[in-house]
Amino acid sequence: MSDSASIAASALFRLDDWFARELPELCQPWQASAAPSPELLVLNTALADELGIDADALRNADGVAMLIGQQLVPGSCPVAQAYAGHQFGGYSPRLGDGRALLLGELIDPNGRRRDVHLKGSGRTPFARGGDGKAAIGPMLREYIISEAMHALDIPTTRSLAVVSTGEQIARDTMLPGAVLTRIAASHLRVGTFQYASGTGDAALVRRLADYAIARHYPQAADAENPYLEMYTAVVEAQASLLARWMLVGFVHGVMNTDNMTISGETIDYGPCAFMDRYNPSTVFSSIDHGGRYAYGNQPGIAQWNLARLAEAMLPLFAANADDAIPLATEVLQSFTELFHGHWAAGMRAKLGLVEPPVDAALVDDLLGLLHMQAIDYTTFFRSLSNLVRGNGDPTRALFADPNAFDEWAQRWSAARSDDARPAHDVANAMDRVNPIYIPRNHLVEAALEAGTAGDIGPFGQLIDVLAQPFDERPGLQAYAMPARAEGAPYRTFCGT
């Protein structure tokens, strides 16, 4: 690194290496592979501002080199993190960052510690058979969906930049390579605990838990049983997260334990997609043959993953397993009720209902109706505010058999009859929780295809639309429309 380059980089920001210092057993120092001719494809200037980084400075050659780990900012000690994981139910004791690096942690202007992480930065000691690379398409996909999730107010890792490397990488065809710069509350995963537990070093699991408490759940440190308290907080965070996914129709697609965070952020946008027509069996991933990670299975899978976390943490809960297991089981079982509470509250808001309890049959019957008549989930909920405003036609028109809907709508109106709020306030409140713009699968594909071919325009337009998912704007009708329901079902690929 030349002196002038290092000065330019130091002016941008600095990083800390708390994780690498504190838990050296859980990572390996490593450098990003060289990129032959890096080019900035997309920069998240709003996120750069939030992080206190001068976005303009990230655009020049030094800035781009820094974004992909070619030039290290002060304090950065890049590492590949170790983790294990249950993948589709089968346990792999050693996964880890095969094509990713943690550059370090940035303290943002609000004092929040955020991981700065690369994806697609070359082979690491955890690469196994992989090439360590990523193609432009899947990195742009992660950018689109993670930023859409953020705008939908769902906890998620963020995307700061995508840089094309100038390299062609081998997939089904040769594809242009890219590196994603990802920002996260941390990259601690359920699989990180599984890996630590698998070493047999009880003190390491304890240090990992202490780190997780200090970083994410500091209030747990004061509890009578800090580790059980931390576990309880993770269960609560995931119950809330899963409810939010379900309420917007998000299908993660690969809920392996290595893809579930301790922080409660959504992570690892691979074969994810948003459900269009309501159907609990919706699966998009080409490799999810059994439907393990289908839309409707997600809460149950989250709880299954949290059981794996409890197993890894068990020795921390009590001195012996006989005491620890009932403690962990009680917390784990609370997931069901916590999830349901968040989900029901969210459903109430979507339906414009204020007072709990809502008749569960009202919601169940609606979902049954949407399923039976193959109604677009997002379009339906968004259109419902029209009824409150006195215009039922757009919603009725969604149904091949509107009579069944009319019958339901009468019950719904009855449930709303005690609401003293003015109708337009109710309708506006509904519009604030029922998005009009989600990342529609056909639009995402079109943006990725154009981006891969060198035209980033459609990607930029899509990002702009998705940044305000609740605000209807003129001229954007095409972004609100589901794809025409013809041809083969939509399929997504892991992009590895």
The catalytic residues are 258
According to CB under 6 A, which one of 114, 117, 133, 150 is a site residue for ligand AMP? 133
Q: How far is CA 70 from CA 4, 31, 169, 174, 182, in A?
A: 15, 8, 19, 24, 15
Answer yes or no: are the C-beta atoms of 102 and 145 closer than 8 Å. Answer: no
User: How many C-beta atoms lie closer than 10 Å to residue 14's C-beta?
Assistant: 14
Least spacing, CB of residue 274 vs ligand AMP, in Å: 19
**Residue 187 beta carbon to Mg ion: minimum distance, rounded to whole angstroms:** 10
In angstroms, rounded to a whole number, what is the distance separating the alpha carbons of residues 20 and 103?
10
52, 109, 130, 489: which one binds ligand AMP (CB under 6 A): 130
Catalogue the E-assigned strands of 120-157.
none
Q: Does 97 bind Mg ion (CB under 5 A)?
A: no
Residues 227-266 that bind ligand AMP (CB under 6 A): 254, 258-259
Q: Give the range of 47-55, 92-100, 198-206, 465-473 binding ligand AMP by CB under 6 A.
A: 92-100
Instruction: Take residue 70 and report the two structure tokens written for it.
Output: 């070619």
Minimum distance from CB of 100 to ligand AMP (Å)? Answer: 6
How many of the chain's residues bind ligand AMP (CB under 6 A)?
Answer: 19
The answer to whether the beta carbons of residues 73 and 242 sit under 8 Å apart is: no
Q: Which of 44, 164, 186, 259 binds Mg ion (CB under 5 A)?
A: 259
Give the residue from 421, 422, 427, 418 showing the smallest Cα distance to 388: 427
**Residue among 472, 453, 468 at smallest CA distance from 147:** 468
Report cis status (omega within 30 of 0) of the bond before 357. yes
Distance separating alpha carbons of residues 216 and 224, to the nearest angstrom: 18
Q: Is 287 in the site for ligand AMP (CB under 6 A)?
A: no
One residue of 223, 372, 374, 494 binding ligand AMP per CB under 6 A: 494
Q: How far apart are CA 106 and CA 111, in angstroms?
A: 9
Does 496 contact ligand AMP by CB under 6 A? yes
Decide which of ligand AMP, Mg ion, none touches 96; Cβ closer than 5 to 8 Å per partner kind: ligand AMP
Interaction between residue 268 and Mg ion (CB under 5 A)? yes
Stretch that binds ligand AMP, among 14-22, 57-65, 89-97, 427-435 (CB under 6 A): 89-97
Q: Helices 202-216 and 226-248: crossing angle, nearest 10°?
A: 60
156 vs 434, which CB is nearer to ligand AMP? 156
Residue from 69, 96, 176, 451 binding ligand AMP (CB under 6 A): 96
Evaluate whether 64 touches 79 at the Cβ level (below 8 Å): no
Considering the rule CB under 5 A, would residue 265 count as an interface residue with Mg ion? no
For residues 325 and 96, what is the distance between their CA atoms, to the nearest angstrom?
A: 28
Residues that bind Mg ion (CB under 5 A): 259, 268
Residues that bind ligand AMP (CB under 6 A): 95-100, 126-127, 130-133, 254, 258-259, 268, 270, 494, 496
